[in-house]
Structure 1
Amino acid sequence: MEKDLLKLLKEGGLILYARHGTATVGVDQAKGLFQSCQYQRNLSEQGRHEAIYYGQMLRYWQIPILAPIIASPFCRTIETALLAFPNVQVQIDHFLFEIFMLGGNLSNVQQNTILMAFQSMLEMKPPEGINRVMIGHSFPENVGLGDISNMGTVVVKPKGLGQGYEVLGKLTLEDLAKLDSI
């Protein structure tokens, strides 16, 4: 992992793709009714604490964050964003639902279409001196950004549209707490 990751995060220009906090056990039954939280897996108490801690750690390390925070339309991702960044606007991006769908039974064509669109998102550089935060879902193993722990973050350096991106590191919530020693 990059030795100066904290320095790079403070300089900005990166994308922090984070998975939501720990959710309740069960299966999502929303079928597109994202405002119906009772049909979804939601944040557990532990997940709420993780989300709050995540935001506290980013503020503690003085990592500049771009508003709005981008979140998947699920209640657990929106709540994660609101708890982590209580004074920052949250913008729902329905495309991040597609990431969630990668865990389903998709054809190779469907999967590749989603991954190519996601790559384009990760290639777009945020404004200089600030980082973009996306709160979404884990990926299936060896797909996209791979498996991400609850409230884990993949730190991505965009190279510009059509130029690709580089994964600088994958941080667990515990890693984030000790960034200065990584």
Structure 2
Amino acid sequence: MLALLLAPLWALAAEQEEQAWQALREGRALLILRHTTAPGTGDPAHFQLGNCSTQRNLSQQGREEARRWGALLRSQGIGRPRLFSSRWCRALDTAREMGLGTVQPLPALDSFFALPGNGSEQTSQLIRTINLMPPGEPLVLVSHQVNITALTRIFPASGEGLILALPLRAAPQVLARIAPPR
């Protein structure tokens, strides 16, 4: 009996996820994902933007997860999205490893973990920047947990993605939560 009650919920969830993917394909939504696995928290004290040897970087597992994201996006008909990333190496490397084309650094996606007071203004800047972009091809963003949580109030796992409706709002409509591809 329980299986009969759960079956429609599973079907509904699958339908909602497919609608979210369709909205992404059509440019009515964006995908924001937390960079893939990079062991540790925050950045070392000697962190320097642009110098990956001073930063927390992707593990081999993280690189493989990013490649699986690329395969998943291609399987969903998203082969050449507009692809933006934080300037942190672990985010840039996640975006590059997906193999989906040119990655454009976007400072509004940079981590503010070390400067939490910047979070509100940076989140507002991200929303303004995204909403000024012309509609069109699918939009994929790679950022950090702190940024995604400030925007959505959701604490994503490493490599987890959220499909958000456009235009982006201060309390965005979450169309789907996509687990890291296996």
The two structures share one fold, judged by TM-score above 0.5: yes
> Which residue of structure 1 lines up, in the alignment, with residue 68 of structure 2?
53
1:133 matched to which residue of 2?
Answer: 140
| Offset, 1:164 | 7.4
| Counterpart residue number, 2:93 | 79
Q: Calculate the TM-score normalised by the size of structure 2.
A: 0.76
After superposition, give the CA deviation of every residue in 1:24-62 in whole Å (9 maximum; x if it has no partner). Answer: 236513766222112111000110000000001100121
Distance 2:62 2:134 in 1: 27
Change over 3 Å in CA distance of 1:66–1:39 after alignment to 2 = same
Q: CA deviation at 1:19?
A: 0.9
- Kindly indicate whether residue 40 of structure 2 is the aligned counterpart of residue 25 of structure 1: yes
Cα drift, residue 64 of structure 1: 5.3
Say which SS state the counterpart of residue 56 (structure 1) adopts.
Answer: helix
Matched, 1:96 2:109: yes
Residues 1:122 and 1:169: Cα distance change in structure 2 (over 3 Å): farther
In the superposition, the TM-score normalised over structure 1's length comes to: 0.76
- Structure (1 or 2) with the larger CA radius of gyration: 2
- Tell which deviates more after alignment, 46-55 or 31-40: 31-40
Tell me the C-alpha RMSD between the 2 structures. 2.8
Tell me if structure 2 keeps the 8 A contact 1:124–1:159. no
Q: Cα deviation per residue 1:70-120 (whole Å; 9 max; x = unaligned)?
A: 11111111111111025x1111112222xx21x34534xx43222222222
Distance 1:26 1:148, change over 3 A: closer
Q: Which residue pairs with 1:8 in the alignment?
A: 23
- Measured at CA, do residues 21 and 5 of structure 1 come closer, stay the same or move farther in structure 2, by a change above 3 Å? same
Letter of the aligned partner of 1:115 in structure 2? T
* Cα distance in structure 2, aligned partners of 1:30 and 1:41: 11
CA distance in 1, matches of 2:162, 2:29: 10
**1: distance between equivalents of 2:96 and 2:41?**
23
Counterpart of 2:164 in structure 1 is 156
Instruction: Name segments (4+ residues, structure 1) moved above 4 Å.
Output: 162-165
Identical columns (%): 23
Q: CA deviation at 1:153?
A: 1.0
Q: Report the structure, 1 or 2, having the larger helix content.
A: 2
